Amino acid sequence: MLVLTRKVGEGIVIGDDVCLTVIEIKGGTIRLGIDAPKDKKIYRQEVYLQIQKENRAATSWNLEDLDLLGQLPASFSPENDK
């Protein structure tokens, strides 16, 4: 991990297209300004971690669910939707 010290108005550049600027330091918090292309997704870390957790949960299979799928009548077969 790279650790830097910055003052208000100073910043850092990440790659060729992301710039972080310290906007304000008050008490124990820091306000950052982020200048990045609109196609870059920017999340607070706790939000990003929650998204990852929910995505993992959505893609995990419960073996009981797989057993139930095997018990579906043939009328629920995707071939019958054609």
Establish if 81 belongs to a structural domain: no
Contact between 1 and 9 under an 8 Å Cβ cutoff? The reply is: no
Residue 57 lies in a domain: yes
Residue 2 lies in a domain: no
The answer to the question of residue 6 being in a domain is: no
Strand partners, 19: 13, 35
Instruction: Give the model's pLDDT for residue 24.
Output: 97
Give the residue ranges of the chain where pLDDT is below 70.
74-82
Residue 80 in any domain: the answer is no
Which pLDDT does position 7 carry in this prediction?
96
Give the count of domains, the chain.
1
Looking at residue 78, its pLDDT comes to 62
Radius of gyration from C-alpha coordinates of the chain: 23
Tell me the residue range of the domain where 43 lies.
Answer: 11-71
Residue 1 lies in a domain: no
